[in-house]
């Protein structure tokens, strides 16, 4: 593969990995964090003391995945068995982690900075994630993704239907 094609392939792998990580994050959040991994995730949904949460351990898991991919792609570590895409997948996972940290921890939960968006997609992200936190406990819920947010009006309808079906217990009214 020529230099320009190799560069293009690397860029596409990084971008594809960032996009794929939203699906990985969504499914991990829905089926692991709100499933058998609830013990680490619970304090993210409940009032707690201190700056750090057990939930932050999931960031270490993501970092370990990125480091593993960098290692698999490294000729210095793997020698002739280095897997070329590994480096670029590792970079995509790293970029997603940075986006997650800025969007979820920073914008939505305001752990790093204080800014409440008044309109646009940033407002939609905040609204969608606040609706995710509208349930009590790990059952039910909406908006398990971190970067792509569905229409809050649709999410409110889903929460109402979950409440009526006895699937979710809501922390607060989602009407209005």
Determine contact, residues 137/169, Cβ cutoff 8 Å. Answer: yes
pLDDT value, residue 137: 93
- Distances from the Cα of 32 to the Cα of 7, 9, 40, angstroms: 35, 32, 10
Q: Which two tokens stand for residue 44?
A: 């993210």
- Indicate the pLDDT class of residue 159, thresholds 50, 70 and 90: very high
Q: Residue 175: is its pLDDT beyond 70?
A: no
Section 105-126 average pLDDT: 92
- Distances from the Cα of 128 to the Cα of 6, 47, 134, 143, 173, angstroms: 38, 19, 10, 6, 14
CA 54 to chain centre: 16
Instruction: Count other Cβ atoms within 10 Å, centred on residue 171.
Output: 12
Summary mean pLDDT of the chain: 93
pLDDT value, residue 52: 92
The predicted model scores a pTM of 0.90
Section 97-122 average pLDDT: 92
């Amino acid at each position: 593969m020529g230099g320009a094609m190799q560069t293009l392939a690397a860029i596409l792998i990084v971008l594809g990995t960032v996009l794929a990580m939203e699906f990985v994050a969504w499914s991990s959040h829905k089926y692991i964090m709100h499933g058998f991994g609830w013990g680490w995730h619970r304090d993210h949904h409940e009032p707690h003391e201190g700056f750090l949460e057990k939930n932050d351990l999931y960031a270490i898991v993501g970092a370990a995945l990125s480091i593993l991919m960098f290692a698999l792609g490294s000729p210095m570590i793997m020698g002739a068995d280095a897997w070329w895409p590994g480096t670029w997948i590792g970079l995509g996972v790293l970029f997603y982690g940075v986006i997650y940290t800025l969007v979820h921890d920073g914008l939505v939960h305001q752990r790093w900075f204080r800014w409440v968006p008044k309109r646009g997609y940033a407002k939609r992200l905040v609204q969608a994630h606040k609706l995710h936190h509208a349930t009590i406990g790990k059952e039910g819920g909406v908006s398990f993704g971190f970067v792509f947010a569905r229409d809050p009006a649709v999410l409110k309808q889903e929460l109402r239907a979950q409440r009526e079906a006895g699937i979710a217990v809501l922390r607060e009214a989602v009407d209005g």
